[in-house]
Structure 1
């Protein structure tokens, strides 16, 4: 009976360990989404293992729980003051059923970001691009056939488009264009990933990586990753683009007030100077927005 109890207590720790194995199987990233609650449950399992006399196993489990907690909590304590940074990027999953785009339009115009990345751009909410055309003349929209019915991906910039730089692939969930800023040309990317395993995120990312690696030069990438910062998916994308995710993780997708997911991110590869992010309101979407502030030059 004692061994049976130990096996039961080990199961949540095995799931927690699995959350680090996304590079081996995409199920690992699905578990990584829930690493925080798994760590809490794992902590309880460690205490129970200690009470059953399996102290060595309990000690290993305690190390795993502590490391897991660190990977989730450490990014939340990162602080980087960039309030005076000259460039801003507004990231937003609009929600394809957004009842009115006016609140989002007004928030964008008030903040006046340099770049905008949008996901779930549907027939219903796509007019926001026309409403922003005067202030953001460089625009690009791409349908996304991979997630049926929720709309495409889009971006806009106040800086002029570099001729011939538009990139659109309806299957990839990515749209990109290069714009000419006062600090030189910059690739601006909008990304929308599938839900993780058993959905198609892993295959989508494998197809995306060569496209991302082909973007030569400074990159500003905003997107709904449907994935957490401590995942293999995030590491694969930041490695392919030589970028870093900036700002503390913002919990942008609330799930019926029970659990929130930090899945909307902004990445840059321009320098290591201070950069920061802040959360914007829902504004009729099911996702909070993210406003990033950063430098493009050293």
Structure 2
């Protein structure tokens, strides 16, 4: 029941965000509502076409807001007597939100009793975080078994030495393609496996179910920026790594985008838990761009405080499958 109520609150959030838009629609004629609904439907569908052109992933980032507006226009069409189209648009809008996996049920699978659980702390720290020790203190207090960081450079890099002291496995990168990326794990490292690559830092460790690659990533923003380009460069590098993988970070795009799906397929991994809000575009539109993928990963996720960053963190508890 608690999950159901929380899900209703999340669903209501996207409808409320569209409410101001909807107030302006109330005075439109049924014909005008059909035109608006048609435009919103095109925008929703465009978000599924990221494999054809990277602009599709740009639309995908805002899919839930557009879907909320489409559902609201559908409700207004019902009110205006346009019954069939109103029902279709209302149903499509709500369906897109539900299927995105952002509600607190459906994709949340609490690990079973006695299972070998990975406790994962994912955080974009923000370059030159004014108080990086808040992040360090939070990590040490929560005692995760895996830590993946982005933008751990500048003043934010000041916590790295403490984390190297705390964790037996770790890598921090400062190459142009992977600066600020870091990984730490409370598992024995596999010798000579730490690497820095295209938008990735990683190391193989002896995890709870055997060797597993732990990778931190940070992609650029979506089209017209280079998100899809970097994802395509990562795909062969990920495919070349044998064995199960955990890949987490700031993807700068939502987990249902085509670029993330290509990365997940190359890694043989899937999204862990539900997608949680981790960033506010222009300080207003909240989106789910920091995510955790894992081979056979089944578990739960929740958001963590910003702690001086512009991103909320992600906490996950999950089990791994075999690669």
TM over 0.5: yes
Distance of 1:5 and 1:297 partners within structure 2? 48
RMSD: 2.7
1:192 to 215, 218, 222: 218
Give the equivalent residue in structure 1 for 2:309.
Answer: 285
- Segment of structure 1 superposing worse, 249-258 or 98-107: 249-258
Give the equivalent residue in structure 2 for 1:222.
Answer: 248
Q: Would the aligned equivalents of 2:172 and 2:182 in 1 still touch at CA under 8 Å?
A: yes
Is residue 150 of structure 2 the alignment partner of residue 119 of structure 1? Answer: yes
Q: CA deviation at 1:174?
A: 0.7
Distance of 1:247 and 1:132 partners within structure 2? 26
Q: Would the aligned equivalents of 2:168 and 2:188 in 1 still touch at CA under 8 Å?
A: yes
Give the equivalent residue in structure 2 for 1:68.
Answer: 96
- Provide structure 2 residue ranges, at least 5 long, that are not aligned to the other structure: 1-28
- Provide structure 1 residue ranges, at least 5 long, that are not aligned to the other structure: none
3-state SS of 2:205 partner: strand
Q: Would the aligned equivalents of 1:152 and 1:173 in 2 still touch at CA under 8 Å?
A: no
TM-score (norm 2): 0.80
Distance 1:129 1:90, change over 3 A: same
Distance of 1:183 and 1:8 partners within structure 2? 52
Give the equivalent residue in structure 1 for 2:17.
Answer: none
Alignment of 1:1-298 (within 5 A): 6-46=34-74, 61-72=89-100, 75-78=103-106, 79-82=108-111, 85-143=116-174, 145=176, 151-169=179-197, 172-181=198-207, 183-255=209-281, 258-269=284-295, 271=296, 274-296=298-320
Count of aligned positions: 291
Q: CA deviation at 1:203?
A: 0.8
Distance 1:51 1:292, change over 3 A: closer
Distance of 2:46 and 2:188 partners within structure 1? 46
Q: CA deviation at 1:257?
A: 5.0
Distance of 2:55 and 2:272 partners within structure 1? 26
CA displacement 1:45-70 (0-9 Å, x = unmatched): 44566788877665654453243222
CA displacement 1:155-210 (0-9 Å, x = unmatched): 112223212212212xx211111112353211100011111111100111111111
Q: CA deviation at 1:256?
A: 5.6
Q: CA deviation at 1:74?
A: 5.8
Q: Would the aligned equivalents of 1:20 and 1:29 in 2 still touch at CA under 8 Å?
A: yes
Distance of 2:137 and 2:48 partners within structure 1? 41
